[in-house]
Structure 1
C-alpha cells in the first residue's frame, strides 16, 4: 500500500484544473476570483483523496508556525489555572492556532521550547524571569507578551483581596487578618494579594494583623487562628479556597464556631468552596473569560490587529456564603 502524501498537484490532476487554482483554494488565498462551485469541487476532492496540508511547508511559505507558546510559572495547576489554559487553548484552536505550555525550571538543562518550536508568539502569565525575554528574542521570536520593549499598560488587576476586605468590613468586622499560603511556588502571588488586602484595609480603616503563611495542616492553621483571635481578629481573608478550607476545618475540629466565632472568606470559587460545610464565602474569577482574553491578546499581536479590551466579564465577583456573618 502506498503511503505517499496526496498533494495539491494530485487534486488538480484529478479535477483537470490548474495547480495554482487548487493552491489558492486550499490556502484560502485572498484577492482571488474563484467561483464557489470550483471552491467546493476542490475541497470535496481534497477530502475524497485524503489530502492533508503539509504543515512545515505552509509555515515556511507563510512565515508562521501557528504555534502560541505559553510560559507558565512553577505554580500548582489549580482549578482556575487549568480552566484558563483549557479555554485559551480552545479559543486558539478555533482560530487555527495550537497552544503549547512550557514551565522552565532554574536547574533545567533542556533546550528551551522557543528555540525548538519557533512559535509565532511567546506569552507569560507573569513578567519574564531575568534574561528570559532576551533569550526568546535572540532565538528569532519577534513577539512577546508581556513585551519588555513596550511600556506596560496594566488594565487587569486582582481586586479579589479588596472585595474580601470590603465584605468583612460591611459585616461589621474591624480587626481582620490575611492568611497566605506557605507554598513557595506561589510566594509572589501571595505577596501581591497580601499587598492588595493591606491597601484595602488602610482605605477602609480596618486593623489588619500581620499575615501568616498557612500550610495545609491543622497544626499550622490552628496556630495562626489562636494567635489572631488572641489579638481580637474576627474575620480572615484567605489567599485561596484551599487555605480558607484548612482554616475552617481546623477551627471547627477545635471547638471554634464558623462563622459565629470567626468569619473566613476564600478566593477563586473552586468546587471545594460550595461543597465545604459551612460553604465558603469566596471571590469568583471568570476563568473562561480570562482564558478567552489571553487567546485574543495573542491573536491580536500575531495578526497585527487591535488588542482586546478588558470587559466586565473579567471582573472579580463576591460570592457570599455561610462561612461569613455579621460580627
Structure 2
C-alpha cells in the first residue's frame, strides 16, 4: 500500500496539464515531458545567452598598450580601455605648417601676440594683415597687453598670415600668430582707448583698402613673405624721392635707403621699389605708412600710397652708384600683376 506522499507524486505524474487557453496571459505552457526547472525573470529583454550566464559582464576587452600620451587606453579609463574612433575632421597638431587645403571647418579668427603696445593700433595691424586677405574686424585685448584678435574673410586668409608673419621680428618684439578657437568677433559697443587714443576695436567690412574684394584684385595679388624690399604703387606720377622719404619721417619710422621708380605706364600714378636696412624696418614701414596719403596739386583727391612686400631681395647698391643697371627694376618686379594690390587705384 502506498503512503500519502507516494500517492501525491503518482497523482502529479498522471494528471494532464491544463489547456493553454486557461493559463494566464503572461505565462507559457510547458510540455509534460520537459524537465521542470526554475526560470528567473530577466525583464522584457529575456534571459542572456547561455554563454553569458557564468559571467554576466562578458569577457574582458582586449589589452591595448599604453601610448604614453595620457589619453590612450591605459591613460584614460584604465588598462583595456578601447579609445573612441577618430574624428572625421581632426584638428592639426600644434606648430604644423598649414597648406592651402585648409579644413573648411577651421575658423577665420586669429590671435596676434607680441605687438608693441605703445605704437600698434587697429589701423597699423590692418595695414599688415590686409596683404594676405580681407580684414573684417580687429579687437585688442585689455587684459593681455600687446595682444589682438583679427577676424579675416576666411580661414585661408588666416593661414596666409600665420605662414608669413609668425615669428617675424618687429623692432624689439616678435610676432606670434595662431588660429583662435573663436568663430567670429562680436561688435564692441564701447571699446577702450589705446595709448594713442584710437579705439581698441574697429570694423573693416567694406573698407576699400582691403585687396581681395573683386576677382580682378585677387588675381593681381601676389602673396610674399616679409622682405626688406617693398613695392610701392598708386603714388603721384611726378612724386620725388624726397616726398616719399618725408612720408616715413612723418610717421616716425626709418625711411628706405634706396628708392627705384618704375618707368611710367600712364600719367595717372607711379610705382617702384624701396629697400630698407632689414625686414624689421620694412614691416614697421608697412604698418605705419601703408595707405598713407600724399597730396598732389593736380589731383582732386590725395593719392593713397600702397605698399607690399616684393619678391626682390635687393634693388641696387645705393644712390652713390651711377643710375645704370643697378637702379633699374628687376624684370620680375616690372611685369604686370607682380604687385600685391591694385595698381593705379585711388
> Looking at both structures, which has the greater relative contact order when contacts are Cα pairs under 8 Å and sequence separation is at least 6?
1
TM-score, normalisation: structure 1: 0.25
TM-score, normalisation: structure 2: 0.24
